[in-house]
Amino acid sequence: MGTKGVGSLGLALAVVAVDQATKLWVAGTLALGASRPIWEPVLALTRVHNRGAAFGLFPEQTWAFALVSAVVVGFLTGVLVAERWSAPLLRVGGALLLGGAIGNLVDRLRWGYVLDFVEIRGFPVFNVADAGIVVGAALIVVSFLLGRTR
């Protein structure tokens, strides 16, 4: 594994660390369903337990999503360690996606649900891992649309 692979894994681990630290803080600070306004009326911290997929779709499928997450983690780890993606957008996107997938997988295995807490009015409640997944996937799509697939 070269420096690009190390850097990608480092970014993924940073996403996991920030995600898990914020979730542990929320778990110790807010009761389930509790909300703390940050910037009214736009932003609040609201503790939600998501037992489904993104945005609460397909509830009570924790183990199915854990299995899918594990496959995604394995695939992305392999691609990043082998440095199969040399395009910067692909590497960064893959690292963000990997970190997010690991963060939510840890939740599913530890608690049986994903702890979400960032509430932007008009959007579903999410967490740092979810943000990594969405931004990472967007960067990967943009890279492919630009023709930068290696």
For every residue of 17-61, DSSP letters joined together read HHHHHHHHHHHHH--TT-EEEEETTTEEEEEEEE-SSGGG-STT-
Q: Which listed residue (116, 128, 139, 140) is catalytic?
A: 116
Of residues 130, 132, 136, 139, which has the active-site annotation?
Answer: 130
Burial of 122 from C-beta contacts in 10 A (0-12 / 13-18 / 19+):
exposed
Hey, which residues does 44 pair with through a beta bridge?
37, 119
> In the annotation, is 19 catalytic?
no
116 catalytically annotated: yes
Give the catalytic positions in this structure.
Answer: 116, 130
